């Protein structure tokens, strides 16, 4: 924030075997998950597929019908899980509408060159200037830049011209002055709408939504992927036995939500405080100020690790229970 710097999350303070952050591109992370999943003999991945509708039988979801370039395919299942993100099509097909929790933001995402003289940053850097907020991610050979703008102002920003955006970026991150000219076309810019929302009910008979499909997380706190994975771990721990015993009921799905909902609410509440202040500073074009409760937490010697724990581990860490699983060949 100008000349002032604030360390928001310091993972070295965590009592954990892994007191650090690892940044991995989405493509590499998804490829990693796929390779791990291929160890299970019944895992099947279908690319280029789109769910067309949910199959229903006697009031319960019993699978999906999806479309591929080769035609439509129908898959019947005792349990269908929607893990398809903030724009979940499964959620829409089930007519499940989330409740918006915090003021929305629009983000412009683009890349700028990484020079040899630049410091290599393991941190996720947030840069603030009056009316401007930028996220920087060090991708090694380039910087991934997220530039926040007030919701619904994208067309106004475009009409002002790419040069105006260059000046705004330079004013917020002055050492980008020698490379902002590389951002010379709107084709280099992607628009992403940011909001935080949550379903009142994450399930229907035969259907469970997890991750952003159930609770859309703002990327400002960098906790969305952690919460999504922990949802999946909780679901695996709690639903494996009912599935194997063929006793799965909606009460089992409700139990997953009960276990995960409070943790999700705490994380969304914390990030929501920050996002509200960001929206306020953007709309008023004034310097960003952390909420008083956030400043108090970060200064406290013991409880100051709470925000870091929420970012790194969630409120309470979920752990896989191998004893609940039979060998993969029997699943």
The residue out of 157, 174, 194 marking a domain boundary is 194
Residues 199 and 178 in one domain: no
In three state form, how does the secondary structure of 109-137 look?
Answer: EEEEECCCCCCCCCCCEEEEECCEEEEEE
Q: How would residue 298 be classed by pLDDT, with cut points 50, 70 and 90?
A: low
Of 307, 113, 96, 108, nearest in space to 194 by CA: 108
Residues 90, 51 contacting (CB under 8 angstroms): yes
**What's the whole-model pTM score?**
0.80
Residues 185 and 268 in one domain: no
The residue out of 178, 194, 210 marking a domain boundary is 194
- The pLDDT assigned to 81 comes to 97
Residues 248 and 303 in one domain: yes
Q: Which residue has the higher pLDDT, 37 or 310?
A: 37
Range of the domain at 108: 102-194
Radius of gyration (Cα) for the chain, nearest Å?
22
The answer to whether residue 8 sits within a structural domain is: no
**How many domains does the chain divide into?**
2
Classify burial at 50, counting beta carbons within 10 Å of its beta carbon; exposed 0-12, middle 13-18, buried 19 or more.
exposed
Residues 35 and 130 in one domain: no
- The pLDDT assigned to 98 comes to 92
Q: How would residue 297 be classed by pLDDT, with cut points 50, 70 and 90?
A: low
CATH of the domain at 304: 3.50.50.60
- Coil, strand or helix: which one is 2? coil
The answer to whether residue 276 sits within a structural domain is: yes
The answer to whether residue 19 sits within a structural domain is: yes
Mean pLDDT (the chain, rounded): 84
| Torsion angle (degrees, nearest 10) of CA 94, 34, 254, 207 | 30
Q: How would residue 121 be classed by pLDDT, with cut points 50, 70 and 90?
A: low
Residues 216, 90 contacting (CB under 8 angstroms): no
φ, ψ (nearest 5 deg) of residue 238: -95, -20
- The pLDDT assigned to 294 comes to 66
Alpha-carbon distance 145 to 148, whole Å?
Answer: 10
Q: Which residue has the higher pLDDT, 254 or 304?
A: 254
* pLDDT higher than 90, residue 193: no
Residues 218 and 230 in one domain: yes
Element (H, E) at 280: helix 250-284
Residues 78 and 216 in one domain: yes
pLDDT tens profile 140-174: 889 999 888 888 888 998 999 999 999 989 988 88
- How is 14-51 classified by DSSP, letter by letter? S-SS--S-----HHHHHHHHHHHHTTSTT-----S-EE
The answer to whether residue 2 sits within a structural domain is: no
pLDDT tens profile 199-211: 999 999 999 999 9
The answer to whether residue 129 sits within a structural domain is: yes
The answer to whether residue 6 sits within a structural domain is: no
The residue out of 179, 194, 209 marking a domain boundary is 194
Alpha-carbon distance 226 to 217, whole Å?
Answer: 10
- Coil, strand or helix: which one is 276? helix
Residues 137 and 208 in one domain: no
- Coil, strand or helix: which one is 57? strand
Alpha-carbon distance 274 to 289, whole Å?
Answer: 9
């Amino acid at each position: 924030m100008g000349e002032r710097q604030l360390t928001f999350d310091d993972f070295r303070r965590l009592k954990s075997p892994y007191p650090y952050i690892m940044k991995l591109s989405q493509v590499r992370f998804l490829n990693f998950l796929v390779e791990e999943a291929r160890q299970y003999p019944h895992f099947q991945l279908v690319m280029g597929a789109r769910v067309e509708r949910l199959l229903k039988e006697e009031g319960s979801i019993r699978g999906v019908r999806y479309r591929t370039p080769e035609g439509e395919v129908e898959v019947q299942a005792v349990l269908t899980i929607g893990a398809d993100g903030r724009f979940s099509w499964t959620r829409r097909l089930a007519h499940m509408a989330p409740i918006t929790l915090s003021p929305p933001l629009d983000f412009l995402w683009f890349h700028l060159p990484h020079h040899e003289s630049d410091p290599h940053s393991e941190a996720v850097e947030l840069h603030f200037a009056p009316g401007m907020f930028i996220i920087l991610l060090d991708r090694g050979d380039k910087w991934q830049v997220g530039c926040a703008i007030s919701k619904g102002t994208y067309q106004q920003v475009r009409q002002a011209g790419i040069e105006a955006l260059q000046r705004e970026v330079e004013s917020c991150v002055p050492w980008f002055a020698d490379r902002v000219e590389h951002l010379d076309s709107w084709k280099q810019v992607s628009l992403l709408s940011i909001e935080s929302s949550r379903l009142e009910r994450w399930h229907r008979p035969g259907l469970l939504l997890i991750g952003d499909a159930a609770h859309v997380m703002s990327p400002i706190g960098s906790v969305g992927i952690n919460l999504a994975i922990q949802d999946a771990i909780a679901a695996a721990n709690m639903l494996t036995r009912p599935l194997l015993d063929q006793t799965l009921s909606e009460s089992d799905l409700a139990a997953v939500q009960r276990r995960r909902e409070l943790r999700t609410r705490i994380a969304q509440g914390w990030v929501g405080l920050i996002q509200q202040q960001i929206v306020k500073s953007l709309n008023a074009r004034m310097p960003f100020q952390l909420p008083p409760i956030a400043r108090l937490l970060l200064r406290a010697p013991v409880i100051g690790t709470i925000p870091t724990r929420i970012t790194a581990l969630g409120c309470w860490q979920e752990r896989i229970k191998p004893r609940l699983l039979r060998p993969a060949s029997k699943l």
